[in-house]
């Protein structure tokens, strides 16, 4: 693709030779002839002076850069759009394998079902979906258009999935919630989990994640929310739209996560809590009470980040005093 065409498609202003042919995207260090890269942060601008990339996306012109430049407001976002142009998603010709087992399903046109997929009864799958091998789709599941369901995924009974949803390999959607009542002799009686999971449009769920279905009503993942791998979501949880849940996060039952919330890696949220819109929870933090909107919480128990930072400083001061008093 000509750089001038690419620049126009991502809405950037071209500086330099627009006729250069761009074949691929790469990191600033690795990019070479025919490759596009980007400079997202000012600290990387110096690196641009020695790049071998054919072109780079920048927030403002970099003097002395040997590559052609495309100026755009958010180079990282521009780069994401450019990559979608340069590396469009794989296409899978429509075909329902006769080595798949389909009990009773309504599958939209253009969809692909690979061998060894299992699809139960009263299932509805939209158009242009891809169902990879070893996917298990239980009875009464509904899936929208343009979904990618990768290998070894389990979608349990009654789950509802929107459009353009991506389920990475091995994730489990709609498994039984963890609900037991204790008898006086200490035995645990299983509480039937008769609800469902609802996944809205444009959600991506990472590999080997688990999302339990609700006890009665629904566990819901809002539109545009993106999960990394190995994330756990308990029953009855409600997650808003456009959230980021980084790897190995755990959300306990009935918690309510707002919109545009970021949960960093290995953090956890206790049951029945609320996290406000736009809040950020630090890595490894454990949330044990409600978090107000737009706050950054860190630590265990999680607290406002500035309090946590102050504690770290106070601790280091005490240790230093200890060391000095020993001398």
Q: Is residue 201 close enough to count as binding its own copies by CB under 8 A? A: no
Contact region with its own copies (CB under 8 A), list: 46-54, 58-66, 121-129, 201-209: 201-209
Q: Which is nearer to its own copies, 8 or 18 (CB)?
A: 8
Q: Is residue 11 close enough to count as binding its own copies by CB under 8 A? A: no
Give the integer Cα–Cα distance in Å for 300 and 303: 8
**235 in catalytic set:** yes
| Residue 309 dihedral angles phi and psi, to the nearest 5° | -65, -40
Give the integer Cα–Cα distance in Å for 153 and 145: 17
CB of 292 closer than 8 Å to CB of 311 = no
Q: Which of residues 169-198 bind its own copies (CB under 8 A)?
A: 169-170, 172, 175-176, 178-184, 186-192, 194
Dihedral of alpha carbons 182, 183, 187, 189, sign:
negative
Give 42's contacts (C-beta < 8 A, 6+ positions apart): none
Q: Which of residues 277-306 bind its own copies (CB under 8 A)?
A: 283-284, 286, 288, 300-301
Q: Which of residues 50-89 bind its own copies (CB under 8 A)?
A: 74, 76-77, 79-81, 83-84, 87-89
Catalytic hit among 187, 188, 223, 235 = 235
Q: Which is nearer to its own copies, 49 or 311 (CB)?
A: 311
Give the integer Cα–Cα distance in Å for 101 and 191: 31
Q: Which is nearer to its own copies, 34 or 283 (CB)?
A: 283
Give Cα 144 to chain centroid, integer Å.
19
Give the integer Cα–Cα distance in Å for 55 and 65: 10
Give 285's contacts (C-beta < 8 A, 6+ positions apart): 264, 267, 268, 297, 298, 299, 300, 302
Q: Is residue 1 close enough to count as binding its own copies by CB under 8 A? A: no
Q: Which is nearer to its own copies, 207 or 239 (CB)?
A: 207
| Candidate list 99, 104, 289, 290; residue touching its own copies; CB under 8 A | 99
User: Residue 3 CB, nearest distance to its own copies (Å)?
Assistant: 18
CB of 22 closer than 8 Å to CB of 6 = yes
Q: Which is nearer to its own copies, 17 or 321 (CB)?
A: 321
């Amino acid at each position: 693709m000509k750089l001038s065409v690419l620049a126009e498609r991502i809405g950037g202003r071209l500086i330099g030779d627009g006729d250069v042919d761009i074949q691929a995207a790469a990191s600033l260090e690795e990019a070479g002839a025919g490759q596009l890269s980007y400079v997202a942060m000012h600290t990387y601008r110096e690196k641009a002076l020695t790049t071998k990339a054919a072109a780079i996306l920048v927030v403002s012109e970099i003097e002395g850069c040997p590559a052609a430049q495309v100026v755009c407001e958010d180079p990282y976002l521009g780069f994401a759009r450019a990559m979608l142009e340069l590396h469009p998603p794989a296409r899978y010709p429509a075909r329902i394998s006769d080595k798949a087992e389909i009990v009773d399903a309504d599958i939209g046109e253009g969809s692909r079902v690979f061998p060894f997929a299992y699809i139960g009864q009263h299932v509805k799958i939209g158009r242009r979906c891809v169902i990879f091998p070893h996917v298990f789709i239980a009875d009464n599941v509904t899936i929208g258009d343009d979904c990618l369901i990768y290998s070894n995924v389990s979608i349990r009974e009654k789950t509802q999935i929107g459009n353009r949803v991506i389920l990475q390999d091995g994730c489990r959607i709609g498994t039984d919630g963890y609900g037991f009542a204790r008898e006086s002799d200490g035995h645990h009686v299983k509480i039937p989990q008769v609800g469902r999971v609802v996944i809205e449009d444009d959600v991506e769920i990472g590999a080997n994640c688990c999302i339990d279905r609700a006890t009665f009503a629904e566990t819901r993942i809002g539109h545009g929310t993106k999960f990394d791998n190995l994330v756990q979501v308990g029953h009855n949880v409600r997650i808003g739209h456009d959230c980021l849940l980084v790897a190995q996060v755990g959300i306990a039952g009935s918690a309510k996560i707002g919109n545009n919330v970021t949960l960093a890696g290995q953090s956890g949220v206790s049951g029945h809590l609320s996290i406000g819109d736009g809040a950020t929870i630090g890595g490894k933090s454990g949330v044990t009470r409600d978090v107000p909107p737009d706050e950054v919480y860190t630590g265990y128990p999680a607290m406002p980040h500035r309090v946590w930072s102050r504690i770290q400083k106070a601790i280091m001061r005490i240790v230093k005093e200890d060391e000095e008093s020993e001398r």
